[in-house]
Amino acid sequence: MKFPADLLYTKEHEWVRIEGGVATIGITDYAQSELGDIVFVELPDVNAAATQMQPFGTIEAVKTVSELFAPLSGTITEVNAKLADQAELINQDPYGEGWLIKIKLSNREEVGNLLSAEDYQKEIA
């Protein structure tokens, strides 16, 4: 399993890539492997508010449905439209083409609540 060191993570298995004031968010390789074949993802509307550690959508796999939690607070600036027809991209490329949403950050201090790759690996061990 991959846990890129340049990303930050949550205990709920989301990853975060921060570029400027925008965070790209997805689920980890570990999460997608635990879920199994992902068949559907429900994402919020652009311009919706996201609040740290509050649900922003759901992800449906053959086995289960799980909530998705916002790692950081802010405004949704983009959703991955490809996932509407190709939810399997999350399984195939969780850190690339399978990203979920982008958030314009409203509170950068929240970044301190996230885990490093090393800490995330300890969390799931």
Instruction: Assign residue 73 the CATH number of its domain.
Output: 2.40.50.100
**Count of alpha carbons within 13 angstroms of residue 15, beta-carbon side:** 25
pLDDT tens, N- to C-terminus, the chain (125 residues): 889 999 999 999 999 999 999 999 999 999 999 999 999 999 999 999 999 999 999 999 998 999 999 999 999 999 999 999 999 999 999 999 999 999 999 999 999 999 999 999 999 99
For residues 58-79, one letter each, b for 16 or more C-beta atoms within 10 angstroms of the residue's C-beta and e for the rest, the string is ebebeeeebebbbbbbbebeeb
Is residue 37 within 8 A of residue 67, CB to CB? The reply is: no
pLDDT at 85: 96
94 found inside a domain: yes
Q: How many domains does the chain have?
A: 1
117 found inside a domain: no
Domain that holds residue 29: 8-106
pLDDT at 63: 85
125 found inside a domain: no
69 found inside a domain: yes
